[in-house]
């Protein structure tokens, strides 16, 4: 395996090792916190520990940072490998290359400030900047978006899930201040949808790993007819070589 192929596995590896376990923890604590809240409202003694709510929030904060970070890593590989390096963008369009690098820095910085912001206005500003950075970076050349099948696209699922995570982080203080639970209901609905997107991410990610060839395979695979699902070799083996292959396969 070439180095570039190994680097391409960082994104899915981090998803499996860190992000999906976090999703399980966040979902589990969310369910426990809701059950405890309903039991307390009915004047029942709950066996669920009170720590379920704070743990849900703590793991949720980690999940947002992990999802945004994972999205940036997933975007960085095709942008740098298939656009900046392959097309020598720093020579042909240096300002565009600098802009892309600055967008990565600005998106990460906005997310850091979102964690620290207290006022609703600043949380809204930094959440908007973080989301805008993800969308702008996702629109760069090199990123495979599968726009013709957006409803089954790993990219669109990932961007949508990341934006929902950013929004959820921004409204956390409002959830605790709202006595009518309107923000809590919005949070629950949107994150239920986000959970479905994460499930779709697992399916579409596995599919894309099957479809993406190794670096040494790309010149041959990309000559295939994807519409008719056929591949013709450039140099068909002669009859003698086929006989040698068949004879060797008998041992």
Using alpha carbons only, give the angle 43, 48, 53 rounded to the nearest 5 degrees: 95
Question: How far apart are alpha carbons 212 and 81 in whole angstroms?
Answer: 14
> Which residues are bridge partners to 230 per DSSP?
225
- The pLDDT of residue 235 is 52
Query: What is the DSSP-derived secondary structure letter of residue 35?
Result: H
**Per-residue b/e over 149-161, b at no fewer than 16 CB within 10 Å?**
eeeebbbbbbbbb
Is the pTM higher than 0.85?
Answer: yes
| 125-141 tens-digit pLDDT | 999 999 999 999 999 99
The 3-state DSSP class for residue 235 equals coil
Give how far Cα 24 sits from Cα of 5, 14, 63, 216, Å: 29, 15, 10, 37
| 183-203 tens-digit pLDDT | 999 999 999 999 999 999 999
CB 15 within 8 A of CB 70: yes
Task: Give the pLDDT mean for 197-214.
Answer: 91
Residue 56 reports pLDDT greater than 90 = yes
- The pLDDT of residue 210 is 86
Crossing angle of helices 52-79 and 120-138, rounded to 10°: 30
Q: Mean pLDDT of all residues in the chain? A: 89
| 21-48 tens-digit pLDDT | 999 999 999 999 999 988 888 888 888 9
Question: How far apart are alpha carbons 236 and 5 in whole angstroms?
Answer: 28
Residue 184's nearest CA partner among 23, 49, 43, 60 is 60
Q: 21 — phi, psi (to 5°)?
A: -60, -40
- The pLDDT of residue 136 is 97
Residue 245 reports pLDDT greater than 70 = no
By percentage, how much of the chain surpasses pLDDT 70? Answer: 92
Q: Which residue has the higher pLDDT, 1 or 188?
A: 188
Q: Taking the CB of residue 182, how many other CB atoms lie within 10 A of it?
A: 11
- The pLDDT of residue 246 is 47
- The pLDDT of residue 72 is 97
Residue 250 reports pLDDT greater than 70 = no
| 89-148 tens-digit pLDDT | 888 889 999 999 999 999 999 999 999 999 999 999 999 999 999 999 999 999 999 998
Q: 225 — phi, psi (to 5°)?
A: -90, 100
CB 168 within 8 A of CB 191: yes
Residue 203's nearest CA partner among 141, 168, 154, 167 is 154
Task: Give the pLDDT mean for 38-60.
Answer: 89
Helix residue ranges, H only, the chain? 3-8, 10-14, 20-41, 52-79, 89-92, 94-116, 120-138, 154-170, 172-177, 182-211, 218-221, 239-248
- The pLDDT of residue 217 is 81
| 216-229 tens-digit pLDDT | 887 888 788 777 77
């Amino acid at each position: 395996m070439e180095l570039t192929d190994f680097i391409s596995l960082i994104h899915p590896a981090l998803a499996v090792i860190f992000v999906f376990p976090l999703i399980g923890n966040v979902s589990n604590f969310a369910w426990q916190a809701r059950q405890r809240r309903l039991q307390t409202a009915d004047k029942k003694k709950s066996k669920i520990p009170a720590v379920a709510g704070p743990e849900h929030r703590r793991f949720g904060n980690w999940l947002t940072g992990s999802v945004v970070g994972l999205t940036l890593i997933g975007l960085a590989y095709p942008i740098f490998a298939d656009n900046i390096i392959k097309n020598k963008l720093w020579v042909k369009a240096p300002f565009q290359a600098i802009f892309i690098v600055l967008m990565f820095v600005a998106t990460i910085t906005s997310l850091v400030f979102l964690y620290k912001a207290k006022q609703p206005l600043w949380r809204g500003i930094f959440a908007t900047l973080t989301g805008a950075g993800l969308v702008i970076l996702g629109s760069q050349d090199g990123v495979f978006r599968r726009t013709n099948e957006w409803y089954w696209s790993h990219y669109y699922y990932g961007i949508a899930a990341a934006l929902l995570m950013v929004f959820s982080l921004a409204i956390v203080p409002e959830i605790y201040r709202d006595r009518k639970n309107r923000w809590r209901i919005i949070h629950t609905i949107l994150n239920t949808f986000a959970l479905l997107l994460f499930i779709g991410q697992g399916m579409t990610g596995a599919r894309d790993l099957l479809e993406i060839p190794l670096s040494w395979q790309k010149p041959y695979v990309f000559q295939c007819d994807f519409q008719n699902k056929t591949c013709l070799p450039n140099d068909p083996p002669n009859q003698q070589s086929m006989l040698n292959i068949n004879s060797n396969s008998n041992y």
